[in-house]
Amino acid sequence: MFSAETYTERRRALAEKVDSGLILFLGNLEAPMNYASNTYPFRQDSNFLYFFGIDRPGLAATLDAGTGETIVYGDELTMDDIVWTGDLPTISEQAEAAGVFKTAPMVALESAVKGKSVHYTPPYRGKNIIWISELLSITPAAAKSGASMELIRGIISLRSYKSAEEVEQLDIAVRVTEAMHIRAMEVARPGLTEAQVHAAIQETVHSYDSHTSFLPIVSVRGEVLHNHSHSNLMNSGQLLLVDCGGESPMHYAGDMTRTFPVDTTFNDQQRDIYQVVLASQVTAVEMCRPGVAYRDVHLEAARVITYGLKELGLMKGDPEEAVEAGAHALFFPHGLGHAMGLDVHDMEDLGENYVGYDERYERSDQFGLAFLRLGKELEPGFTITVEPGVYFIPQLIDQWKAEGLHSRFIDFDALDAYRTFGGIRIEENLLITGDSSRLLGDGIPKTVEDIEELRG
């Protein structure tokens, strides 16, 4: 945990942003896998972590926006609990460490919220939807849609700007993530399965007593953007795309991608596309600084890809017009990146558009650009990912070709030689500083030469 002062100050700042009423924080409960007591690894709600730091299931808290009074609710362990789960600090001890000096048993929460104007964040787990519905005597549907815009905007205005101690956690998370990637690059060989590389990544992250910050992608079919299957055998001539991240001890997330040949060296086709993606990624990283709109960085990254693919004969026509029209999205159908912090897509529970867009930058509905989670101007303290990619998605190619979509900009015949290529993505994590940006973590091989040296 950070210091009690840190949490106290965060709550004071939040109370100031919410005019009046009672702010209700529901921590996460255990999440059942196949029956109630067989649970997934516990993950505390990130807003609860940010304002209270207590990493334990079954807690709630209230913050009176007017008076600032704060209460943590939870039930102390019984002797039966201690036999099964061991001794823990008491809830009052943990609350005090977060600067909260008033605690109450969970049964007291219902009367505490009764008749109050209650602010809560959008619940994303079924159990918490039911919890809110029962506390406030409303339907689950009303509980789900009844979150407070004032609270959402207040939290985003705080969590968007990472403090020095948060950046320290993010550096740790990215270093764990880098170790996972180095391990993957060390072990992947033709004849092994994706599962074996995934296993090595899991060993690395767990050896830090950490967890993955999201389900790892380890796939020779990198063109499937969120491919969580690891069942393929890795063959010579294929690329392996690895997108994974670990958490810091305080649950900040890392999120990096590397793509490398299953062989020790890239073949010509792989090297050509890799250089296009790398140029796009490097250009984008260089552009990131305060005052630059991330949508413009995304579009510039798309332009570099389009120029590159034109040079390789896969695209044609005017690259600027092609990007304007969205033709590049056949190859680069996702956004350039997103905010990261306590969540790998930071604060996505609060609403992607409130986190990544504002009155000046509105979300596009064009295929590709529509998936860009962050469009607004970058500011000091933002932490973000930069992750362009080029993919050859047979189903999408066939659909566009059949519809003649963007045929002015795409040479569909030339794509035949790439149908089993897969995809390439390169992803790093940045902190936006006062006048520029810096890489989080230490940096790991990214160029063709450095990757081939590590793989050799």
Q: Is there a contact between 106 and 72 (Cβ–Cβ < 8 Å)?
A: no
Q: Which of these ranges, 38-46, 104-112, 272-280, 448-456, lies near a copy of itself under the rule CB under 8 A?
A: 38-46
Does 198 contact a copy of itself by CB under 8 A? yes
Does 199 contact a copy of itself by CB under 8 A? yes
**Alpha carbons 423 and 414: distance in angstroms, whole number:** 16
Does 228 contact a copy of itself by CB under 8 A? yes
DSSP character string of 162-179: --HHHHHHHHHHHHHHHH
Query: Interface residues for a copy of itself in 319-348 (CB under 8 A)?
Result: 333, 342-345, 348
Q: In whole angstroms, how close is the CB of 346 to a copy of itself at the nearest point?
A: 9
Binding mask 246-285 for a copy of itself (x = CB under 8 A): ----------------------------------------
SS3 category, 37: coil
CB-CB neighbours of 363 under 10 Å: 16
Instruction: Find, among 114, 123, 127, 130, the residue nearest to 146 by Cα.
Output: 123
Q: In whole angstroms, how close is the CB of 454 to a copy of itself at the nearest point?
A: 20
Q: In whole angstroms, how close is the CB of 102 to a copy of itself at the nearest point?
A: 27
Q: Tell me which of 128, 177, 270, 437 binds a copy of itself, using CB under 8 A.
A: 128
Q: In whole angstroms, how close is the CB of 453 to a copy of itself at the nearest point?
A: 25
Does 436 contact a copy of itself by CB under 8 A? no
Q: Tell me which of 134, 311, 320, 442 binds a copy of itself, using CB under 8 A.
A: 134
**Alpha carbons 11 and 22: distance in angstroms, whole number:** 12
Q: Which pair of structure tokens corresponds to residue 446?
A: 């990214």
Rg (CA), the chain: 24
Q: Tell me which of 12, 13, 16, 32 binds a copy of itself, using CB under 8 A.
A: 32
Does 142 contact a copy of itself by CB under 8 A? no
Does 124 contact a copy of itself by CB under 8 A? yes
Does 114 contact a copy of itself by CB under 8 A? no
Q: Is there a contact between 378 and 290 (Cβ–Cβ < 8 Å)?
A: yes
- By the 10 Å C-beta count (0-12 exposed, 13-18 middle, 19+ buried), 33 is classed as exposed
**Alpha carbons 302 and 281: distance in angstroms, whole number:** 10
Q: Where are the alpha helices (DSSP H) in 43-163?
A: 46-51, 79-85, 91-97, 109-113, 126-136, 140-145, 149-159
Amino acid at 49: L
Q: Tell me which of 5, 209, 365, 435 binds a copy of itself, using CB under 8 A.
A: 209
Does 215 contact a copy of itself by CB under 8 A? yes
Does 107 contact a copy of itself by CB under 8 A? no
Q: Tell me which of 90, 236, 267, 399 binds a copy of itself, using CB under 8 A.
A: 399
Q: Tell me which of 39, 163, 275, 407 binds a copy of itself, using CB under 8 A.
A: 39
Residue whose token pair is 């159990």: 127
193 vs 264 by CB, closer to a copy of itself: 193
Q: Which of these ranges, 60-68, 79-87, 270-278, 414-422, lies near a copy of itself under the rule CB under 8 A?
A: 79-87
SS3 category, 324: helix
Contacts of 453 (CB under 8 A, 6+ apart): 445
Q: Taking CA 245 as the corner, what is the angle to CA 290 and CA 247, rounded to the nearest 5 degrees? A: 90
Per DSSP, the chain holds a count of helices (H) and strands (E) of 16, 15
Does 444 contact a copy of itself by CB under 8 A? no
Q: Tell me which of 112, 138, 287, 396 binds a copy of itself, using CB under 8 A.
A: 396
Contacts of 437 (CB under 8 A, 6+ apart): 285, 288, 289, 378, 430, 431
Q: In whole angstroms, how close is the CB of 64 to a copy of itself at the nearest point?
A: 26
Which residues would be at the binding site for a copy of itself (CB under 8 A)?
Answer: 31-41, 43, 45-46, 79, 82-87, 124-130, 133-134, 140-141, 193, 195-196, 198-200, 202-209, 214-215, 221, 224-231, 333, 342-345, 348-349, 393, 395-396, 399
